[in-house]
Every structure is written in structure tokens, then in C-alpha cells.
Chains A and B, each alone.
Chain A
Amino acid sequence: MSNQTEQPDLERRGFIGKTVLAAGAAVVAPGVLVSVAGAGAKTDGADPGKRYGLLIDTNKCAEGCTACVTACNEEHGIDLMQKPEGLDEAQWQQQKPQWIRKVKLQDNLTGRVTNLPLMCQHCEFPPCVDVCPTGASFKRADGIVMVDRHTCIGCRYCMMACPYKARSFIHQEVEHQTVSAPRGKGCVESCNLCAYRLDYGADNTACAEACAAQGHNAILFGDLNDPNSELAQALSSAASRQIRGDLELNTGVRYTNV
């Protein structure tokens, strides 16, 4: 028989016991701190007979005007967010949330310049909803695509999937926010067509309102399903297109003259 201390089997039991104990403690301890978030009923109140959308007339979208962006930022408390101390300005520009942005384009062949606002396109078949593992990214019965911030785990797969770069991740602690647009570090968010305004009886979005107030009327909001709505009438009378129509996502936001 060889030397006892050289025998692995004798000391093995002790080693296994201690390791299992340590691993068990490491697993259980954080679990005690975790609380399960409950999600409310997602479609409560949304009317399945409606499909909200926008029509953007790029001919009316004025160069240099950012009224829609400013209005959105105020409406959803985005302007309350401050650049974290010590963060580089350029990086802050890439990290801060943007629900709507102005884009200026020039046709390669003709040189024609187009201005347009770009936001979540509220697809009928949203890729962000398809890929979300927890179902936090969801589409309401009335066609609005939004994020349930109680179940968003911050995996950012929806941002990988969105063809419009319409989503933003909250990179820092949120100090100030509005009651109507709750926001939290580590979650994803995007344009929700001012859902809570509609739920409380409003008939327009902040961006469309601001555009109209400037006298441009480039953004028209309404119900795509209602043939009598101004939106449906405008869509049936003029040619419009979807951005990345090749993906056949049947977007709720349409553009003319682009």
C-alpha cells in the first residue's frame, strides 16, 4: 500500500464537500436579493380595431427644423437626461436616447435633397418583437410597438434586429424622468407613438403637433384602419412608400416624396 497522503480518494471527499458548499452559497446568496418583476396586462385598453400610424410628407419637412425632435425629447423626458460626469461628448452623443431623428439625404444620381424624421416604424411584423427572448418587446392591439420595461433584461437583441436603428439603450443611472415616460438604466426604449397620450384621450402625437405648430404639417398621425381618417385619405390619394419596403414588414409609418 502506498503512502496514505498520496491517495486522492481519501482527501477527495473533503474537497468535494467544501467546493459544493462554497458553490451553493455563491448561487443562493444573490438569489435571495432577486425579486421577480410582474408585468401588467399588455393589451388592456388598446383597441384592436385600430392601427395607429404616421404619414410623413418629406416635401413639407423643412431643412434645419428640429421641432419634432425637441417636442419628443420634452414629452418623454429625454431632455432631462444629463451627460454622465467625465464622459466624452462624442460618446455621449452616441449613447443618449433618440426616439426620433432628422435625416438629410441626397440622391446619388439626381442630387435631389430630402429631409425627413425617422423613428420606430411600428411594423406589423416587427423584427424586434420576433427576437426578444422575454416578450418585453411587444406590439399592442392597436399596432403600437413598444417595450415592457418590467421584463426587458437589457440584452439589446432588439437593437441588433431593428432595421431602422430606432431603439436606444439606457447607458446610465436615470435621475430625472417624467411620470408618463418611465425610464431605467439597462433597458431598451423607443418611440411609442405617445401611447399614454392616446390612452388618455389625445388624438395626436407630440412630434406631429410640434410640426403643425411650426406650420409645416409634414407629420400626419391617425388610424390606418379608419377609411375616413385624414391619414387614410391622404395615403389613398398620393403615392407613398415604406423605408426598407423590401423587408415586407408593413410599417405603420409611411413616407411620400422620398
Chain B
Amino acid sequence: MSTMTYRELWCSSPRYWAGLALLGALVLIGLGAAYYMEHQGHYVTGMNNHIVWGLPHVFAIFLIVAASGALNVASIGSVFGGPMYKPLGRFSALLAIGLLAGGLYVLVLDLGRPDRLVVAMTTYNFKSIFTWNIFLYNGFFLIVALYIWSMIDRTAKWAYTPLGFTAFFWRLALTTGTGSIFGFLVAREAYDAAILAPMFIIMSFSYGLAFFILALLAAFWWAGRAIGDLRLTKLKNLLGVFIGAVLFFALVYHLTNLYITQHHGLESFVLLDGGIYTVMFWLGQVVIGSIVPLFLIYSPGFKTSRWAIAAASVLVLAGGFFQLYVLVIGGQAFPMPLFPGQEVLASTMLDGQIAPYTPSVPEFLLGMSGIVVAMTLVAVVSRMLQVLPDSLEDEQER
């Protein structure tokens, strides 16, 4: 068996620095948008007292969920002993850290008082799942950083397996915590369901792997290195399984709701007459995010097509974004059941009505820059540490 060599992301200066400058410019735009929203107040956004979590939250939750999923490739290598995945472990762990940082960056900058972050870090209410998440997120950074160290430093090899297991269980806890942000909300019909926690875990598998495949292809293209078809096919087939699993959970979630008379209104809102939310569910989550990528992945015509693998990954991410949009925004837009059996004739708080929400440009720019922050972090650290294999050609493996 040949030895795997890792090397920093090193390409010609203009190629690297121009890329980094582009990323930096996009981050600056996002920071500008955040400053504008913070300075003016949230009135410049589309958010209101009904839709209190808007587009930035969709981006933030999307990135946080994907972060834990991106670590899966490393976990398969160390926890489940998959030799094909082992060389990808370092990059997978780094991407996980990057995505989490990007998500938290958006989450914090969308706070009403981001300047009080220090209050959030020092004053706790341990009944709040948000408080637990603060520990889960910070712990994730620490554990995964140590995990990367145990993979890189040969003298730390003894720590590799225990850290691999710790990181794996920690990431499960982290996604459970993120899913529980919604699962614990008794007030709203779309949430308040224990299935949201495992559903978030399986969503993280899918989005995280899609992010990983894209980041890997991009980094190798940037550095001008080669990846063999065998390994990519493995990753791609795994993605197919995860897409199916997310669909299964979505099916169970909706079938359960359809059985319960009380939730028929919500289900008809999402599945039939919810306007943009119905379109996002069927066209966004089901067709674009699941059926088309499954076709691209399993169709014999695209067996080793890089283009098809990348396209499938992009579509999975788009579908995941729509799925979270329907859950986060749609779940708030649907009226809360305050007076069952009665129709609300008048209310200044839109009781009984679908709440309006139109995302604003600054919200979008802040959200997008979260993804860019993740990419920038990965690009910078990849140049510092030996996280990327020199080559992933098939012959090298066996």
C-alpha cells in the first residue's frame, strides 16, 4: 500500500490570491449588509412581528446543519473504518469547522443586539436549547480542531480513534440540538414534533456531503490536482442514499400530520394551496432537490461524469435550502391555532391569517456571505495545514 502524501493548497500566486480576494470582497459586502441592518434596525428587512426569523436564519441553519454533515466523511474513515474515505478526513473536518463558523457568523449578525454576544456567552438559562447549542457549537470547534491535529501530527496518532468517536457523537448531539430548536416549540403546528431532531440529522448527512463533494472538486481544481473516479463514485452513491433518506423522513413527517385532523390545515398549506411554500416544497425540495439529483446520480449515462456529480450536489443544496425555507418561514407564516373552531373576523396581529414575508436584499447578502466565510476559512487554512492529499488518483490507493 502506498503512502498518502498531503500538501498545502498551493497554486500560482495570482490564482490563489485572486480567488481569495474575490472571497474577501464578497464577505465585505455581507458585512456591509449586516452593518446596515444593525444600524438601521430590522425595519429595513422583510421581517416583522410574525416572521421573526427570516432569510438569514434559513442560511444559518442550513450551514450549521451542513457543517455536522460535512464531518461524516472523516467519521466514515475513523469510526466506520472505510479506507477510501480516510485520506479525505482532514479536509472533511476542516470543511465542518468552516461551515459551522459561516452559519454562526450569520446567526450572530442577525441578532437584534449582536453587540451583546458577550451576554449570550456569559449569562445562561440551561432550560433553553439555545444555551445548550452554544456549548455544542463551541465544543464542536474544539473537538474537531483536535481531531484534525490527531490526523496530521504523527505523534498524536493515539488520540485519533478516541477523538474520531467523540467528534462523531458530538456532531450527532449538535444536529439533534439544532433540530430541537424547532422540535421544542409547542406553539406552532409545523414544529413541535420529535421527528425534527432525527430529520435534521439525516438532512445534515445529505447537505454536508453535497457541500463536501463540491468543496473537494473546487479545491482540487484550484490546486490543479487529480481525483480518481472510484472515490468520487463512492461519494456520489452515498449522496444518493442520503437523498432517499431525507425524502423518507419528509414522507413520514407529512403522513403523520395528514393522519391528525388538527394538522390538516397545515398540510394543505404546505402541499396544496400555500402559494410560494407549496411551490418550494414540490418543485424545490422534491423535484430539484431530490428527483433530479437522484437521476443524475444513478443514471448509467452519467456514470463517471464530474459535471453530473457537481450538478447533483448543487441541486441537493438548493433543495435543502428550499426545505428549510418552507420549514422555517412557512412554519411561521402559517397561523397559530389560537381559537379552534372559530374564524377570526378582525385582528391587528394577523390572527388566523397567513403572515406576509418578502426577503430583502441585505438579508440575502448577509446569508450568502455566510457561505463565503466558510469557503474563505477553508481556503486559508488549507494553505496553512496539510489537509489535502497531493493526489487522489485511483492507482495510489491500492
Contact = CB atoms under 8 A, between A and B. Distances in A.
A135 B384 CA distance: 41
B10 interface: yes
A101 B131 contact: no
Given A161-B187, A172-B41, A173-B41, A131 B128 contact: yes
A37 interface: yes
B146 interface: no
Contacts of A171: 41-43, 47-48
B356 A165 contact: no
A189 B332 CA distance: 19
A106 interface: yes
Contacts of A186: 38, 41-42, 111-113
Contacts of B384: 12, 15-16, 19
B342 A106 contact: yes
B283 interface: no
Contacts of B120: 133-134, 153, 155
B127 A130 contact: yes
B346 A103 contact: yes
A216 interface: no
Interface in A89-145: 90-95, 97-98, 101-109, 113-114, 118, 127, 129-135
Nearest to A154: B112
A152 B113 CA distance: 8
Given A94-B48, A151-B119, A243-B339, A160 B185 contact: yes
A95 B43 contact: yes
A156 interface: yes
A108 B343 contact: yes
A157 B383 contact: no
Contact of B49 (A135, A154, A168): A168
Interface string A167-182: 1111111000000000
Nearest to B181: A157
Contacts of B339: 103, 105, 243, 258
A160 B42 contact: no
Interface residues of B, number: 61
B9 to A, nearest CB: 9
Given A153-B113, A153-B116, A8 B7 contact: yes
Nearest to A23: B380
B351 A103 contact: yes
A20 B32 CA distance: 23
Residue from A36, A156, A162 whose CB has the most chain B CB atoms within 10 Å: A156
Given A15-B383, A36-B119, A161-B185, A95 B48 contact: yes
A92 B122 CA distance: 34
Interface string B30-59: 000000001011110001111011000000
Nearest to B342: A105
Nearest to B347: A103
A217 B118 CA distance: 46
A134 B53 contact: no
A84 interface: yes
B117 interface: yes
Nearest to A36: B118
A203 B184 CA distance: 37
Contacts of A101: 347-349
A187 interface: yes
B155 interface: no
A244 B338 contact: yes
Interface string B187-222: 110000000000000000000000000000000000
A196 interface: no
B326 to A, nearest CB: 16
A1 interface: no
A202 interface: no
B83 to A, nearest CB: 27
B348 A102 contact: yes
B115 interface: yes
B18 interface: no
Given A135-B123, A171-B41, A154 B341 contact: no
A19 to B, nearest CB: 6
A187 B112 contact: yes
A157 to B, nearest CB: 6
Given A98-B349, A105-B345, A130-B127, A84 B111 contact: no
A163 interface: yes
Given A104-B347, A152-B113, A185 B41 contact: yes
A130 B123 contact: no
B226 interface: no
Given A134-B123, A156-B112, 13 more contacts: A12-B8, A12-B384, A104-B344, A108-B343, A118-B349, A131-B128, A132-B125, A132-B130, A135-B124, A151-B116, A163-B186, A164-B338, A165-B351
9 contacts: A34-B115, A102-B346, A103-B339, A105-B339, A130-B184, A152-B113, A155-B130, A169-B47, A258-B339
Interface of B: 7-8, 10, 38, 40-43, 47-50, 52-53, 111-120, 122-125, 127-131, 134, 181, 184-188, 332, 336-339, 341-351, 355-356, 380, 383-384
The 3 closest A-B pairs by CB, nearest first: A154-B112, A186-B112, A94-B48
